[in-house]
Structure formats: C-alpha cells, structure tokens
C-alpha cells in the first residue's frame, strides 16, 4: 500500500487522466495480489495398488477446499488451490515430488499419503526448508516425533505407538488371545510397529508376543511365516501391511485351514483388499479413525451429502472406500485453513505457531478439536479416537 501512495505522490501535478490511470493500475495490482491462490500440495499414492488411499485423501481435501473457497477462501479472499503429485508408494519419488512442490510450485503446505516410508523420506526436507507438512494417513511414530526443533510436521491420523496398544488390547478382549503372532511388512513402518507392539506387550500382562515374522511387499506365499507363528503358539495374528501383501497373508491363512483371528493396522483399507483377499477378507478386524455408518454428527451428515453430490457414484456409506483417508484429510485441511487465518499469513513459521495454539474450536468430522496441537504434541488424534472395523463385502463397517 505504501508503494502505491508513494507512486501517487510522485505524480502530483500530472494531468488528471494520468492520475486516474495510475490509481486504476495500482488498485488492479493490489486486487490481483489479493486473489493469488494459496497453493496446497499433496504427495500420495495416486496410482498402483494403494491408489484408493490417494483418491480417498483427495476427496477429503477437495471437499474441505470447496467449503473454504465457497466462504471466501482465506486471508481476505485468496482461494485454496490443490496441486497433486503421485509418489507411487516409492520414497525417492515422493521426495522428488515434495521438492517440486516446494521449489517450483511454492506451496504453503504439503499433505502426505498412506506410506510411512514416503513420509519419513520427506520429513527432513520439509523441516530443512521450513515447509509445513500435514500427515493424514501414514502412522509411523517418527513422522511427527522426529526430533526437529522447530518441527514443521503435523498429523491428523493414527500414531503407531497408540495403535499398537489398541491392537493388542482388542485381540485379548475380543478374541481372548493370550499370545499374538506379529506379521509385519519389512520396511520402516513395520519396524515402527514392531517396536511399538513389543513395548505395548510389556505393559499389558494379559497378552504376550509369540513371535515376529517379517515379509516383503512382493511376497506371495505367507504359509511359512504363518506356520512358524502357529508352531510358536500364536492364537491371534497382528497384521501390519498394506492391501496387496495383506491379501496374500489372508489367502495363505485360508490355504492352511487356520482360523486364527486377524487384528490389523489400517493399511489394508487403502487398496483393493476385499477383491484380492477373497471370501475371508471380512475375518480381519482393523483400526480406523472414522466410519460413515451409524448415527452421524451434523458434520458427518454434511460431508456425506457433499460426497454424494460431488461424486455421483456414491449413493451411501457403503460406496465410500478408504473412509479414513477422506475423514482425516477433511479435518486436517480445515485446521490448516484456520491456522492460516489466525496467523494472517502463509508464512510457515507463523502458521506453525498458530497450529500449536489454535484459539478457535473446530467441530470436525472425527471429533471436536480444542487445541488439537501443542508445541510438544503435533498429533491431533489419540487412542480414544480409534474404532475397530471389518469388511462386509466392499463395505467398511464398525465391529465395536
């Protein structure tokens, strides 16, 4: 504004038409600046076996952005613009995508996807470059609890350490299991949960760890893994994996004729698990943060109606795949927009500080958020926000 005033002072004494033109040009420039969109990045699996997870997150972000933009956007009229990159569930590709969003697109924040290894690859970059990162699916504990100060990484999603407590407790209380066999993907996400499950078992005298078996993403025959756990006395399987290898595990279990209960992390909800696993897919009970089934809150009814309107193939809750991705992303986008408004800027430091001390309460889809983040805790959801579900056909339905 001061530049515009200075320019007008310099034109004192000029003909009236020149003054009028200068005023109009300066106002047009100010309006154009005010209308510049706030770019929001999204790095996720948009193709491949976990593409449903990326699409689910996209839907949640798109709905929230539509709502925010329909109300005038942020910062006095700036609309939000979503810019996406496909990481193909590949950490190096995810890192390249994040660099493009930061250095070429100049995004105000990046939203992450389903894969913990991809998020862990991006975390050092965003903290170095002072770019906000919002996790909305990947649950690896080290994503937010990364030791950085300041820490630009936040999350509206589950956290492995808390999920691991939930999974063991559920196996014991629901299925009376005393010895859990761990079936873990051999990557940083599996390692995170191995550590968390062993710690959870030490604190839960009702259930112990019978054994640990790790497998690769492209493994097909899980019978040897399951046989070792069966011989070790496992009376429940704790599964930590995404959909394709998780389906292979269920098929191997079926071939063995072993009806051991399966309690799973939520990776199996991010792809075509029911189709790939076959008739025993519903035997696996898994964790989520939200379900569109049952009595919904006003926010739930509003979002379900918006999903039906925006995506005609959705006729009801049964048509919403990977609902956790949509719900987490929807709430996280609204919380980020609130922080931008509170900060009065898209400056990463200012928005980070606002997120750590949000003054307004947000009536979200998953819950009511009151001071969801603090300087010490960048995870908005806790164990009380988790529910257990199972597949009923292609539908994800609650079991508790």
What digits encode the pLDDT tens for the residues 245-277? 999 999 999 999 999 999 999 989 877 899 999
197 lies in a domain?
yes
397 lies in a domain?
no
pLDDT of residue 60: 98
Q: Looking at the 3D structure of the chain, how many domains does it have?
A: 3
Q: Is pLDDT at 8 greater than 50 in this prediction?
A: no
Residues 199 and 164: their CA atoms lie apart, in Å, by: 9
Contact 229, 183 (CB under 8 A): yes
User: Is 349 in the same domain as 314?
Assistant: yes
Measuring CA to CA, how many Å separate 370 from each of 164, 353, 382? Answer: 25, 15, 13
User: Is 282 in the same domain as 165?
Assistant: yes
User: Is 6 in the same domain as 85?
Assistant: no
* Dihedral sign computed on CA atoms, order 277, 194, 56, 318: positive
Residues 26 and 104: their CA atoms lie apart, in Å, by: 27
400 lies in a domain?
no
395 lies in a domain?
no
Q: Is 394 in a helix, a strand, or coil? A: coil
pLDDT of residue 28: 45
Place 34 in a pLDDT band, splitting at 50, 70 and 90: low
Q: Is pLDDT at 4 greater than 50 in this prediction?
A: no
* 153-155 sheet: strands from edge to edge: 80-86, 38-44, 109-111, 132-135, 153-155
User: Is 177 in the same domain as 243?
Assistant: yes
Mean pLDDT of 194-208: 97
Q: Is pLDDT at 165 greater than 90 in this prediction?
A: yes
User: Is 268 in the same domain as 311?
Assistant: no
User: Is 49 in the same domain as 26?
Assistant: no
* Dihedral sign computed on CA atoms, order 257, 258, 261, 265: negative
Domain that holds residue 376: 38-157+296-384
Who contacts 256 (Cβ-Cβ below 8 Å, separation ≥6)?
223, 226, 227, 230
Residues 24 and 55: their CA atoms lie apart, in Å, by: 44
Name the residue among 305, 278, 380, 299 with its Cα closest to residue 339: 380
389 lies in a domain?
no
User: Is 229 in the same domain as 139?
Assistant: no
Contact 308, 314 (CB under 8 A): yes
User: Is 118 in the same domain as 173?
Assistant: no
Q: Which of 22-31, 78-87, 133-142, 277-286 has the lowest mean pLDDT?
A: 22-31
Q: Is pLDDT at 26 greater than 70 in this prediction?
A: no
Task: Return the higher-pLDDT residue of 9 and 70.
Answer: 70
Residues 257 and 89: their CA atoms lie apart, in Å, by: 32
**Is residue 195 within a helix (H) or strand (E), and if so which, with residue range?**
helix 188-202
Q: Which of 241, 258, 288 is at the close of a domain?
A: 288
User: Is 367 in the same domain as 262?
Assistant: no
Place 15 in a pLDDT band, splitting at 50, 70 and 90: low
Residues 39 and 79: their CA atoms lie apart, in Å, by: 9
Q: Is pLDDT at 32 greater than 60 in this prediction?
A: no
pLDDT of residue 240: 96
**Is residue 130 within a helix (H) or strand (E), and if so which, with residue range?**
none
CATH of the domain at 380: 3.40.50.2300
pLDDT of residue 18: 52
Mean pLDDT of 332-341: 98
User: Is 18 in the same domain as 67?
Assistant: no
Residue 364 token pair: 């979200």
Q: Is pLDDT at 7 greater than 60 in this prediction?
A: no
180 lies in a domain?
yes
pLDDT of residue 220: 86
Work out the percent of the chain whose per-residue pLDDT is above 70. Answer: 91
pLDDT of residue 217: 85
Average pLDDT across the chain, whole number: 92
Q: Is pLDDT at 305 greater than 50 in this prediction?
A: yes
pLDDT of residue 12: 53
* 395-398 sheet: strands from edge to edge: 208-215, 179-185, 236-240, 262-264, 284-288, 387-392, 395-398
User: Is 284 in the same domain as 192?
Assistant: yes
User: Is 8 in the same domain as 64?
Assistant: no
Residues 44 and 119: their CA atoms lie apart, in Å, by: 9
Residue 125 token pair: 């970059």
The string of DSSP letters for 322-362 reads SHHHHHHHHHHHHHHHHHHHHHTS--HHHHHHHHTT--S-E
pLDDT, one tens digit per residue, over 168-200 is: 999 999 999 999 999 999 999 999 999 999 999
Work out the percent of the chain whose per-residue pLDDT is above 90. Answer: 84
Q: Which of 264, 288, 312 is at the close of a domain?
A: 288
392 lies in a domain?
no
390 lies in a domain?
no
226: phi then psi, degrees, rounded to nearest 5 = -65, -35
């Amino acid at each position: 504004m001061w530049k515009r005033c200075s320019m007008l002072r310099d034109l004192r004494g000029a003909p009236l038409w020149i003054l009028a033109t200068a005023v109009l040009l300066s106002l047009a420039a100010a309006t154009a600046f005010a209308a510049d969109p706030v770019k929001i990045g999204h790095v996720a699996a948009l193709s491949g076996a976990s593409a449903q997870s990326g699409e689910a997150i996209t839907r949640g972000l798109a709905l929230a952005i539509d709502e925010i933009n329909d109300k005038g956007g942020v910062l006095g009229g700036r609309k939000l613009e979503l810019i996406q990159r496909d990481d193909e569930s590949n950490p190096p590709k995810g890192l390249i995508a994040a660099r493009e969003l930061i250095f070429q697109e100049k995004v105000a924040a990046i939203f992450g996807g389903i894969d913990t290894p991809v998020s862990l690859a991006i975390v050092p970059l965003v903290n170095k470059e002072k770019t906000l990162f919002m996790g909305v699916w990947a649950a690896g504990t080290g994503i937010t609890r990364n030791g950085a100060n300041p820490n630009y990484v936040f999350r509206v999603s589950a956290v492995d350490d808390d999920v691991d407590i939930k999974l063991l407790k559920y196996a014991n209380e629901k299925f009376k299991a005393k010895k859990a066999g761990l079936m873990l993907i051999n990557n940083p996400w599996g390692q995170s949960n191995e550590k968390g499950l062993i710690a959870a078992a030490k604190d839960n005298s009702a259930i112990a760890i019978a054994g640990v078996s790790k497998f690769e993403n492209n493994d097909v025959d899980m019978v040897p893994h399951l046989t070792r756990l069966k011989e070790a006395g496992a009376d429940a399987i704790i599964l930590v994996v995404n959909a394709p290898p998780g389906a292979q595990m269920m098929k191997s279990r079926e071939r063995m004729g072993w009806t051991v209960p399966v309690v799973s992390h939520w990776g199996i909800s991010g792809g075509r698990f029911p189709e790939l696993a076959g008739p025993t897919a519903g035997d696996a009970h898994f964790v989520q943060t939200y379900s569109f089934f049952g009595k919904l809150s006003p926010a739930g009814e509003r979002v379900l109606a918006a999903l039906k309107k925006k995506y005609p193939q959705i006729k009801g809750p049964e048509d919403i795949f990977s609902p956790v991705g949509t719900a987490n992303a929807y709430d996280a986008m609204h919380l980020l927009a609130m922080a931008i408004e509170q900060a009065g800027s898209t400056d990463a430091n200012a928005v980070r500080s606002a997120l750590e001390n949000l003054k307004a309460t947000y009536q979200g889809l998953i819950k009511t958020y009151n001071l969801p983040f603090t300087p010490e805790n960048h995870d908005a959801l806790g164990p009380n926000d988790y529910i257990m579900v199972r597949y009923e056909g292609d539908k994800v339905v609650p079991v508790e």
